[in-house]
Chain A
Amino acid sequence: MADPMRIRASVQGDAADVKVLFSHEMETGQRKDANGQIVPAHFIQTVNAMFKGRSVLAAQWGPAVSKNPFLNFRFKGAAKGDKIQITWVDTKGDTRTDEATFT
């Protein structure tokens, strides 16, 4: 199981600001190891943010997103105490969902 995400969710005026730091290698499939063997690609492909049962952001990523990816987005309608769930799925089918509370 992959490491948890670090999610900071805050309400700023009428908009909710969400910052997510994922913990993932994001291996491109281009790199070679010390023996000259290509390191197989392994990266997060889809990211979904759910708020009160609706999607507030759906992202698709290629291998060119940085290792331990960072994501920042904003949406309207969240209040303090509300929760947001972030889910990712990677190329091996691994998935993880974490939840954060708005402050």
Chain B
Amino acid sequence: MNNARREALKTGGGITLLTLIFASGFLKPGEAISAEWNKAAFDTKNFADTMKALGGGNPAESADIVMTAPDIAENGAVVPVSVLSKIPKTESIAILIEKNPNMLTATFEIPEGTEPNIGTRVKMGQTSNVFALVKADGKYYTVAKEIKVTLGGCGG
């Protein structure tokens, strides 16, 4: 265990230090406790760019990902979405909403011992396809579901 890294995390000033560590290539982001926020990926507007920013190619569709979400969301500000991956060696789960201003909504790193089963709530501006993206054993898999929104969650 690297004590310097641990101290840096505690003080909160560790973000810059972590950036340096990543930049110098000592650590892969997946191994770090608190990875730098992936601005490039969160700024993307479409699926292809998001995949590129996350470092993956074209994901394969998979029936082994179960996304639980309503067919119709009455309130776009609070749409419950949960993703369960049955793919072995799932490393991370991401939620992408196609028609939001920025497509990538959330990513979750799944260390060993944690079940690849995440539940959260998201905002949707309008009716859109929602993608669950799973990285397992270095490969990307996805499943999509259209959620109809009757009242958008991004307006004033």
Contact = CB atoms under 8 A, between A and B. Distances in A.
A59 B12 contact: no
A2 interface: no
A20 to B, nearest CB: 10
B120 A58 contact: no
Interface stretch (B19-27, B59-67, B103-111, B131-139): B103-111
A40 interface: no
Interface of B: 12, 15, 32-35, 37-38, 42, 77-80, 82, 97, 100-102, 104-111, 113-115, 117-124, 153-156
Given A63-B102, A70-B120, A73-B117, A58 B33 contact: yes
Interface of A: 15, 26, 28, 30-33, 45-46, 48, 50, 54-67, 69-77, 87, 89, 93, 95
Contacts of A57: 108-111, 114
B35 A75 contact: no
Nearest to B123: A64
Contact of B115 (A26, A66, A74, A87): A74
B91 to A, nearest CB: 11
Contacts of A45: 37
Contact of A73 (B34, B114, B123, B155): B114
Contacts of B110: 57
A19 B126 CA distance: 27
A59 B111 CA distance: 11
